[in-house]
Structure 1
Amino acid sequence: MGTPADELRRELAESGVRPGAEVIVPSYGTSEAAEAVLLVGARPVFVDIAADTLCVDPAAVAAAVTPRTAAVIPVHTFGHPADMAGIERIGARHGLRVIGYGPEDESAADVRRRQAHAAYLDERLRGVITQPVAHHVCHTYQQYVVRVPGNGRPDRDAFARALRSRGVGCHVPVQTPVHRTSRFRREMWLAETERAADECLALPVDAQMTRRELQRVVSACNALGGLLQVAA
């Protein structure tokens, strides 16, 4: 059994994506979608994300379509589904294959626990900006991502170091957008992608976390967030 990236490559080939074609992909996230495009001999075209979902922006997809475009890969980012309906309408208008992609979820029970943990954090976190989720959207919280207000990457990285010193595990979900990695190196500016790479931080929301551990996350974030706001 292959990896999800292998399955994506096969799906691209089976859907008729030929060498030299263009495939629209987001730059914010992992490189798997872009790598799969290269493996079938096509060219990944990187587009920006929507600020609220961190998933590919349908308006950016529409603007990137050319006569060479064969497909779009909307990536479901951190468990938040991409706007498949909006992107499928664009695909239908231009005759493009739309292939949703994202890592497989864990068990339904684990997803429900992560969703409950995320709801707890959403209600209590102050000093960081939580991700809005529309009522009709099923976010599975493979990662719980917030934004750290202030001076972009310097404040975000300092915030992360301070959280870790207080025993709260956290990590930067995307250090470098895919289009700026050495593998691809595209000279382009994707404003929301760059801003997310500078501001976003993933907080722990594992299904096995206890209420005490969640409270520690809230206490540490709220104390540090207050200091950042005063300093600003």
Structure 2
Amino acid sequence: MIPMVDLKVQYLKLKDEIDRGILEALEKTQFILGPNVSAFEEEAAAYLGVKHAIGVASGTDALHLALAAAGIKEGDEVITSPFTFIATAEAIRYVGATPVFVDIDPRTYNIDPAAIEAAITPRTRAVLPVHLFGQPADMGAIEAICAKHGLLLVEDCAQSFGAAAAGRMTGSIGALGAFSFFPSKNLGCYGDGGLVTTSCSETAEMVKVLRNHGSKVRYHHSVIGYNSRLDEIQAVILRAKLKHIDEYNQGRRRVAHLYSELLAGTGIVTPFEDGKGVHVYHQYTLLTDRRDDIMKALTGAGIASAIYYPIPLHKQDVFAVQFAGLTLPVTEDAAARCMSLPIFPEMTEEQVREVVGVIKSAL
């Protein structure tokens, strides 16, 4: 069996450090907003090149609290991508705003800057690009659009920890960034976890208040907040893994580049790197008209595969009424033909060649 991601092999390499750190945290019994959370926030902020990093309970919460802290509210419109996980749009709806879906770039699968500009209305307040599959969106163009129209720029970095756009880390470019530490992510913990990044001290303070029941001082509540704090035990795991994130991302790039080399000439559309930044390959996603045949063959050989994402957000039942009749042809074509292959830093050349061998046989 070749899984989509092998979490066990990574854990075994860090087992002694992680186990020791967890036991030390248990001994100290500071489980909520403890010393490891504070230390991880400082270490993550330094790595990402931001002034503030605030740990929260999940990537979804990171998006939600980022938008809430920025003042996005009912009546506002937020332009975003329909080719992403539902959490991107959920967070917009959580604050009462309206998601506005626009089409994607056919090569990167990220939001198309030209489509953003065409969708701006008097109600548009923010743009929420997704750095999908680990490739940064075209942030230079998006920044320029936001500056021209006075729009807030918030980055969905759930899949891009360690990725860079023109020398700047994702999460440090917009007013705020939102990261996920779901176990399968490039930097993942062993449960749920998330992070909000910003270089604005006032915004950072608001995120801290919102994550802790709207409170700065215990039992004093200035706003209605949430219970969304990064767990101390998860912070232990993240601190151990953060030291190796560049190594992990380079391992993913090695696997991705080998896949692309071996799949050349098959007619499969392999991932495109735009050359403007560093793609960290949270997923290795390709396009093919033979998706069903390939996935059936891989399953038969004991090799995992997945579809991210089979139904674009504007076609989801929850948005069916609001976006009835909306057609986004590039997104819909990608959803109909995309599939993702196993990728993780420790994946061997032999495993990659085995996956590609099965695909070529299926074709």
TM-score by length of 2: 0.59
Are positions 1:42 and 2:177 aligned together? no
Shift of 1:17: 1.4
Q: Which residue of 1 aligns with 2:328?
A: 190
Q: Which residue of 1 aligns with 2:16?
A: none
Q: Which residue of 2 aligns with 1:228?
A: none
Q: Which residue of 1 aligns with 2:116?
A: 61
Q: What fraction of aligned residue pairs are identical, expressed as a percent?
A: 36
Is the contact made by 2:293 and 2:362 (CA closer than 8 Å) also made in structure 1?
Answer: no
AA partner of residue 59 (structure 2) = P
Shift of 1:223: 2.6
1:15-164 mapped onto 2 (5 Å cutoff):
15-103=70-158, 104=161, 105-106=186-187, 107-126=245-264, 127=266, 128-148=268-288, 150=289, 155-164=290-299
Are positions 1:210 and 2:348 aligned together? yes
Shift of 1:25: 1.1
Are positions 1:177 and 2:232 aligned together? no
Counterpart CA distance in 2 for 1:165 and 1:68 is 51
AA partner of residue 354 (structure 2) = R
Q: Which residue of 2 aligns with 1:168?
A: 303
Unmatched 5+ stretches in structure 1: 226-232
CA deviation string 1:75-104 (max 9, x = no partner): 010111111111111111111001111214
Higher normalized contact order (CA 8 Å, seq sep 6+, divided by chain length): 2
Q: Which residue of 2 aligns with 1:4?
A: 59
Counterpart CA distance in 1 for 2:138 and 2:87 is 19
Counterpart CA distance in 2 for 1:90 and 1:24 is 12
Specify the SS of the correspondent of 1:183.
helix
Counterpart CA distance in 2 for 1:212 and 1:73 is 39
Counterpart CA distance in 2 for 1:39 and 1:200 is 29
AA partner of residue 47 (structure 1) = V
Q: Across the two proteins, how many residue pairs are aligned to each other? A: 220
Unmatched 5+ stretches in structure 2: 1-55, 162-185, 188-244
Are positions 1:14 and 2:69 aligned together? yes
Is the contact made by 1:84 and 1:100 (CA closer than 8 Å) also made in structure 2?
Answer: no
CA deviation string 1:34-57 (max 9, x = no partner): 101101110011111101001101
CA deviation string 1:134-182 (max 9, x = no partner): 233211110000111x3xxxx3123211222123211111011111111
Counterpart CA distance in 1 for 2:298 and 2:150 is 48
TM-score by length of 1: 0.90
Q: 2:357 aligns with which of 201, 219, 223?
A: 219
Is the contact made by 1:22 and 1:44 (CA closer than 8 Å) also made in structure 2?
Answer: yes
Counterpart CA distance in 2 for 1:4 and 1:166 is 33
Counterpart CA distance in 2 for 1:53 and 1:184 is 25
Is the contact made by 1:79 and 1:143 (CA closer than 8 Å) also made in structure 2?
Answer: yes
Bigger radius of gyration, 1 or 2? 2
Which range is displaced more, 138-147 or 159-168? 159-168
Q: RMSD of aligned C-alpha atoms?
A: 1.3
Shift of 1:3: 1.3
AA partner of residue 305 (structure 2) = C
AA partner of residue 173 (structure 1) = Y
